[in-house]
Structure 1
Amino acid sequence: MIEDFTTVNNGVGEVRIGNNSLIGLGNVIIGPITVGNNVILAQNIVASGLNHNYTDTRRPIHEQGVSVAPIVIEDDCWIGANSVITAGVTIGKHCVIAAGAVVTKSIPPYSVVVGNPARVIKQYDGSRNEWVKTI
């Protein structure tokens, strides 16, 4: 994972970005988030480690504070344009997240995911040395 990285604090949580990672135009990245090495983030991605609390129906949502849960994007991932990654999610090494996917749960390494909510459609099978459909 990340040995050397750039860190920025955006007021909510740290944003840590590994070596050789590319961040596309128009992205909204709200920490805490760690982006590994050699990651490609395409355009208009929203990745937010922040959630607004809303459980008390007697109070306006804006008065209930926020909760945070870190996002981790491991090395060698490609996140497609217009994707959304929600708080608390880990995306495993060498994953491909299709454009427009909404990732609400952690994704195992070497997976391809699509949709809203995102679901795994392929995984790499090392014993066969190929990508295999899961659905």
Structure 2
Amino acid sequence: MMFRSRPVLHWHYKNWQRETAGYLRIFAKNSLPNNEMIGYVINDKHPKSIRVACDRYMYVVRYKKSFRLTKKVWAHDEQSEARKGDVVRIQPLGYRIGPWKTYVLTQVLHKEPRDQPQPVTPAAATSAAA
């Protein structure tokens, strides 16, 4: 019997990875027009800027295995509409904005569900006041 020297960790999809994978399947993975990329927002702390992780898939014939490559880029978000966890589509600018930003946000494809505050009803307001 052969034992593994280290345990095998099975990789599971998280919610944003499922969403990204679905959009990448729809948009034919790596063949988007104008070098556009689809990714998920991993950082939105800076004003008008987002950090996007873009997945790219390649198949290696020698190993008969497909690999996922992740590229993290800064993108310009003029209206600050994208939040952390959203799936977005970005496009290269052709020039830089500042020392890092070379992409611009073109579309928010999927918004991550957020905790919405409960609306205050008149009945709840009167019972809380009593």
- TM-score (structure 1 length as normaliser): 0.25
Q: Which has the higher contact order (CA 8 A, sep 6+)?
A: 2
User: Which structure shows the higher helix fraction?
Assistant: 2
- TM-score (structure 2 length as normaliser): 0.25
- Structure with larger Rg: 2
